[in-house]
Structure 1
């Protein structure tokens, strides 16, 4: 287990200020503001955001503020065809997003690494289901953080058949690096959507974690999952409604940004040796490989 680690005082104070805030109220307000279609408002907001975060639009289908009907359409912008090629290796696992690796490795004693000195429960992450937790016990995980400047659609890391989707209500703490280092069990406290798939031989989960100012999370098969936030875990079973997705297919998006966590069973995958925390990854980049079951 991790040794005791105390983050810098300023980081802890910044995170402490987030606790009393009305996370969902702020996020809903931001959601309305980012969908306001007043041309002056949305064009000014988009251009200011591009300058502030040095957003690269070279690969986007649209490139001018006037091309998007509102800020959210810009934030969830699509890419031009061919800008994110997939691996040629049929055993490869592709990054589901553009972002930065926060953590990766083995799930040990039912715990995932959040940051140095911070861990959180797999069972809590998956909504408290013991049977589901058992499927991934001692497995592997990869956590990728999407910064404001990143592309914010989420794609399939490998081929899979959708089995189940779970919405787990919770807070909406920021998922910026300093909060990940200072807020205990952050990813198991924030609102999230867990999508469960059956891969070539093993199941896997793609978890979309909400955050402050994430006005909604949606999937291609359901549409908007949240809001409403609710107080109870909700689940949808797709066993009788077969949905097969290929590697690289879009599966969902964040309407404002956040974090994606991939979870695999024990012995199912191996992460790329050169991959580590702090590394930048791009959608479609090989981040690991299945160990068996690929024809």
Structure 2
């Protein structure tokens, strides 16, 4: 009954409106006075931050802060897949029968995660996936896990439920219900899908390769796809985008292309740039 009431509460809450309000506040200059409290509340590590606190213009400016390059070295091995973000592994495993694990006893469809595209989902069936949760204290820029070209960007409108442990436990198929932005990357590991999942208080998700794309738009926009025909090439570790407040990244790999170098367990802490998998069947990138 408690879970049912909590689920009903989140369903009725005007999550998108609240997230937009939060985004407006975080962009306002007055919000810069909240930064020290935010740092203390979430125990943010300031050591690798590129600028001192008094140089940030607002809370959002601090939230999407840059780090000193040496703080997150990118593993140079061509066969290595790196973590695209700082975060914690929520789930890791194989896409079995077209489904991914959300939490113990809860799974969701790869096809639904990718916006209903059966052909695209079939490419990843039997492949590997990892779900990485970014907490409020984490660095929130997103980087390329492999060297490659951006083939498509897919915007999938949806809800903005929380993606913390409570939301994962309460909302079935959460990651296939919330708003998503999918970058499809052609690489030596084959096609890689980097799925950026929206959440409550995520004002927006942005990608560095296309300034026109923004999530949680007003007025709301329908599902859409933008094709780049391989014209957007990015190095491994190159900046791909950012969360304007925290959320989750899901990486999908085609079957037989990679092997994990990290434990297949929840709770593994990752840092951007460190190797998480090895490409075992590389192919040339045209």
TM-score between both structures, scaled by the size of structure 2: 0.94
Structure 1 segments, 4+ long, off by >6 Å, are none
Give the CA deviation at 1:182: 2.0
Whether contact under 8 Å (1:147, 1:258) holds in the other structure is yes
* 1:56 and 2:48 correspond: no
Give the CA deviation at 1:247: 0.7
Aligned ranges 1:47-196 → 2 under 5 Å: 47-64=36-53, 66-196=54-184
Secondary structure of the corresponding residue to residue 243 of structure 1 = strand
- Aligned residue-pair number: 282
Distance in 1, Cα, partners of 2:257 & 2:96: 15
RMSD over aligned Cα atoms: 1.6
Secondary structure of the corresponding residue to residue 45 of structure 2 = coil
Distance in 1, Cα, partners of 2:114 & 2:95: 13
Once the two structures are superposed, what CA deviation does each residue of 1:256-294 show, in whole Å capped at 9, x if it has no partner?
110000001111111125342111111111111111116
Q: Which residue of 2 aligns with 1:34?
A: 26
Whether contact under 8 Å (1:11, 1:178) holds in the other structure is no
Secondary structure of the corresponding residue to residue 256 of structure 2 = coil
Distance in 1, Cα, partners of 2:156 & 2:74: 31
Secondary structure of the corresponding residue to residue 242 of structure 1 = strand
1:19 to 11, 15, 38: 11
Once the two structures are superposed, what CA deviation does each residue of 1:152-178 show, in whole Å capped at 9, x if it has no partner?
000011111110000000000000112
Distance in 2, Cα, partners of 1:98 & 1:59: 13
* 1:262 and 2:262 correspond: no
Give the CA deviation at 1:243: 1.0
* 1:278 and 2:258 correspond: no
Whether contact under 8 Å (1:15, 1:178) holds in the other structure is no
Whether contact under 8 Å (1:99, 1:146) holds in the other structure is yes
Secondary structure of the corresponding residue to residue 73 of structure 1 = helix
Distance in 2, Cα, partners of 1:46 & 1:210: 22
Q: Which residue of 1 aligns with 2:201?
A: 213
Structure 2: gaps spanning 5 or more residues: none
Secondary structure of the corresponding residue to residue 252 of structure 1 = strand
Q: Which residue of 2 aligns with 1:246?
A: 235
Secondary structure of the corresponding residue to residue 43 of structure 1 = helix
Structure 1: gaps spanning 5 or more residues: 1-8
Whether contact under 8 Å (2:82, 2:273) holds in the other structure is yes
Once the two structures are superposed, what CA deviation does each residue of 1:31-76 show, in whole Å capped at 9, x if it has no partner?
1000001xxx323211111111011111010131x21111100000
Give the CA deviation at 1:213: 0.4
Distance in 2, Cα, partners of 1:173 & 1:186: 7
Distance in 2, Cα, partners of 1:294 & 1:52: 46
Q: Which residue of 2 aligns with 1:235?
A: 225
TM-score between both structures, scaled by the size of structure 1: 0.91
